[in-house]
Amino acid sequence: MNPKQLESSIFQAVYDGTQRKWTSEEKELIANDSELQNYLKEWLSNSLSDTCWHQGNYKIVRDLSTSSNFSQPMNFFEDEEIHIPF
């Protein structure tokens, strides 16, 4: 998939209500695109109550939001039980 198709797939995983976990390809795009990261952080802060976020996707964006330095390596592929506060 090209980056625009991946981006569309990333957004669809959140807004369509399926709570689909992002693929490793999608996670890689997020890790390398600061504009997409910023968009997802803003979207997360405005959409927590819609219950469409998969726990793993929520953790990725939450970790982006709490990280002050994006150059530090983040483990987007870690499977950890996450509580989404909604």
Q: What are phi and psi of 71, to 5 degrees?
A: -80, -15
**What pLDDT is stored for residue 79 in this prediction?**
53
Q: Write the pLDDT tens digit of every residue in 24-49.
A: 999 999 999 999 999 999 988 887 66
Judged by average pLDDT, the poorest of 4-8, 20-24, 47-51 is 47-51
Q: What is the DSSP string of 35-54?
A: HHHHHHHHHHHHHGGG----
Residue 6: pLDDT band with limits 50, 70, 90: very high
Q: Write the pLDDT tens digit of every residue in 62-86.
A: 888 775 444 334 454 455 565 555 5
Q: How far apart are CA 19 and CA 54, in angstroms?
A: 5
Q: How far apart are CA 29 and CA 34, in angstroms?
A: 9
